[in-house]
Copies of this chain bind each other. A is one copy, B any other.
Amino acid sequence: MPSFGLTIAETARALGLSTDALRYYERDGLLLRAVPRSTSGHRRYEPQDLRWIELVTKLRSTGMPIRDVRRYAELVRAGEGNETARLELLHAHRRQVLADLAQVTAHLSAIDHKIGIYEDKLEGRSLSA
C-alpha cells in the first residue's frame, strides 16, 4: 500500500525538473522541509511540497541564484515574524528582474535592427552592413 504523494520521478515530470535536481534542492536547503518518505525510504512529495518547489522554479527561472532561494526558504522555515525580511528579499529580486527585462528588451531591439538590415539586403534594397 503506497504512502500518499508523488514519487520523485512523477514530481520531476510534473515540474519539469530532473530527479537529480530535486534531490539537490533538498540537500542544499531550498525546500521547507525534508520530503516525507515511504516505509522503504523513497521520497513521497505531497501537495505542499509541490507548491513550494513550483515557487522555487519560478524564482530560479527569473534568475534568482540558489543562494538567495535558500535564504528565502530559511526565512519561511523560521516561521512568522520575519515577513518584512521576506518581502524585502522578494522586492529586491523583483527590481532585479525588471532591470534585466529592460536591458534584454533594449538589446533585442538592436538585434531586430540588425535583422532588418539583412532582410533589406536580401530583398535587393541593399544598404550598409
Which residues of A come within 8 Å of B, CB atoms?
Answer: 55, 58-59, 61-63, 83-84, 86-87, 90-91, 93-94, 97-98, 100-101, 103-105, 107-108, 110-112, 114-115, 118-119, 121-122
Contact = CB atoms under 8 A, between A and B. Distances in A.
A81 to B, nearest CB: 11
B97 A115 contact: no
Contact of A107 (B62, B103, B108, B114): B62
A94 B114 CA distance: 11
Nearest to A100: B104
Nearest to A110: B58
Given A61-B107, A62-B104, A84 B122 contact: yes
